[in-house]
Amino acid sequence: MSKEIERKFLVKGESWRALVNPHFYQQGYISTINQTTVRVRIVGENGFLTIKGKSEGIARCEYEYQIPVTDARQMLQELCDQSQIQKNRYRIPIEGLVWEVDEFLGDNSGLIIAEVELEEEEQVIVLPAWVDQEVSGDPRYFNSNLTKFPYKNW
């Protein structure tokens, strides 16, 4: 079983922007039942289908598969809710970890979240200066919930 162990934080300031260039992401959800999600994502010219299980603390099972981008486009159009996530993602390597900073667009514009995937739940990490409050356990910041309850309405 593939397991995702991830911590999420709000981002402060702008210093992180100078570190890397963004990649545009578009994603939608086929299902979000009982805290299990089935997501379709396009990054550049690559499509992905991801299944994530229920969160237990900061961990959950995750299975991700690359699919043809034409299939991903069709799934986003025909199978996913019309409220979808659009964001720019910045991948920033720091001290052996890769921080992913998501700058949300559209209805979630103004929201910037940094995520870091860990090897184990108790792993000690050094927080970059631009990392602010931790929101790992707050379901409002789950991408699947941002499609239903966008940041602009908070």
pLDDT at 1: 55
Helices (H), the chain: 69-78, 143-146
CATH number at residue 98: 2.40.320.10
Q: What is the pLDDT of residues 23-78, one digit of tens each?
A: 999 999 998 888 899 999 999 999 999 999 998 889 999 999 999 999 999 999 99
Q: Which amino acid is at 17?
A: R
Task: Pick the catalytic residue from 29, 63, 65, 151.
Answer: 29
What is the distance between the alpha carbons of residues 127 and 146, in angstroms, rounded to a whole number? 25
Radius of gyration for the alpha carbons in the chain, expressed in angstroms and rounded: 15
In DSSP notation, 6-23 reads: EEEEEE-SSGGGGG---E
pTM, entire model: 0.89
DSSP state at residue 126 = P
Question: Of residues 145 and 20, which shows the higher confidence score?
Answer: 145
Range of the domain at 35: 3-153
Model confidence at 82, pLDDT cuts 50, 70, 90, reads confident
Of all residues in the chain, the percent with pLDDT exceeding 90 is 86
Counting the structural domains of the chain, the total is: 1
What is the distance between the alpha carbons of residues 12 and 152, in angstroms, rounded to a whole number? 18
Average pLDDT of the chain is 94
What is the distance between the alpha carbons of residues 92 and 107, in angstroms, rounded to a whole number? 25
Contacts of 146 (CB under 8 A, 6+ apart): 85, 104, 107, 108, 111, 140
What is the distance between the alpha carbons of residues 118 and 60, in angstroms, rounded to a whole number? 12
Q: What is the pLDDT of residues 91-104, one digit of tens each?
A: 999 999 999 999 99
Whether 29 is a known active-site residue: answer yes
